[in-house]
A = this chain, B = another copy of it.
Amino acid sequence: MKKRQQPSSIDVAHHAGVSQSAVSRTFSGRSVSEETRRKVLRAADELGYRPNALLRVITQQSNLIGVVMGEITNPFYPEVLEAFLVALEERGYRVMLKHLNGAKDADAAIEEVLAYKVRGIIVTSSYLGPEIAERCAKSDVPVVLFNRLIHGVDVSAISCDNVDAGRMVANLFMDCGFSRPAFISGSLAASSNLDRKKGFFDRLAERGGREPVVFGDEHSYEVGARAAADLLAQPERPDCIFCASDVLAFGAMDTLRAAGCLVPEHVSIVGFDDIPMAAWGAFNLTTLRQPRRRMVKEAVEILLSRIDGSSAKPVRLVPAELVMRGTLKAMA
């Protein structure tokens, strides 16, 4: 005799000799006599009963949040994911995590998550096309874009002020008196990279700097390494490199150093993100910190306020912070 099936509240009711509603009330913490509660809990324990949390989706509202995330293995994102999990769980939400492979299945992923009647969605993929954003905007469930701006579409978003950050780096390089800038980029399909590039290039131009050479296409160590190799092959070596992410910078630094090109003596490097590794002795990277705790906090706030009925769809920009470390040659 095997008792596979999970017991229902009715089973518990019978076992305890009370009504099914008594069981329900006991577990939803409403008025029951101590007597009844005892009987119910005892029966539940004996039967191994556990109320089905998913069914709240029928009578009440779901407490699921969909988190759609690409680039999980870019060290910036585990930090972000953890922060989201903590913040969301703290407030009684549970997360359904959906992995994204580049932009291709983003559309399907959103649909998928919506099918589970999530209460809200957070999308952290940088590679989101406007069609998908459009779908998010149309959806009746609130969506917040993390680190992805889509202009002209009515979606909430939170992002670091990438344009301004790019400008900060340009100013820094000009102030240091550098004259041969380079930019190692992430994918220009992502607004974040485009914006960093834009701020960097524009400010450089404004201040009479030269237009940087640019390499790279994705946030990875390997791409950074290859870009640096390409840079070394140029007729004229750069004296300063702005990398659109810390991982890119690590790859570049390792390649440069292996080639005998000293950082920061021969070339200065500035990264982006300030992932924990940037502070490590092996890199000691000057970088622009994305205030991720704060960004996550605000993303969650926006999402929850939308869930609570607010119809505002704010787009919030938080400033990056320059973190000075050892990869920038002191000014002359």
Measured CB to CB, the residues of A under 8 A from B are 4, 6, 48, 50-55, 57-58, 62, 64, 67, 72-73, 75, 77-79, 81-82, 85-86, 89, 94-99, 111-112, 114-117, 138-140, 221, 225, 250-251, 253-255, 257-258, 276-277, 280-283
Contacts and interface: CB of A to CB of B under 8 A. Distances in A.
Contact of A280 (B57, B72, B79, B221): B221
A198 to B, nearest CB: 30
Chain multiplicity (copies): 2
A51 to B, nearest CB: 7
A79 B73 contact: yes
Contact of A55 (B58, B78, B89): B58
Contacts of A251: 280
A110 to B, nearest CB: 11
23 contacts: A4-B140, A48-B139, A50-B114, A50-B115, A52-B117, A53-B115, A54-B116, A54-B117, A64-B96, A72-B78, A72-B82, A73-B276, A75-B75, A78-B78, A85-B98, A89-B98, A95-B96, A96-B97, A97-B97, A221-B280, A253-B282, A254-B282, A257-B281
Nearest to A52: B117
B94 A48 contact: no
B250 A282 contact: yes
A194 B290 CA distance: 37
Contact of A282 (B114, B276, B283): B283
User: Which 10 interchain pairs have the tightest Cβ spacing?
Assistant: A254-B281, A85-B99, A53-B115, A282-B282, A97-B97, A78-B78, A72-B82, A53-B116, A54-B57, A72-B78
Contacts of A53: 115-117
Contacts of A52: 57, 115, 117
Nearest to A276: B221
Nearest to A51: B115
Given A50-B114, A54-B116, A58-B55, A250 B81 contact: no
Contact of A54 (B62, B82, B254, B257): B62
A14 B163 CA distance: 51
B86 A99 contact: yes
A103 to B, nearest CB: 16
Contacts of A50: 111, 114-115
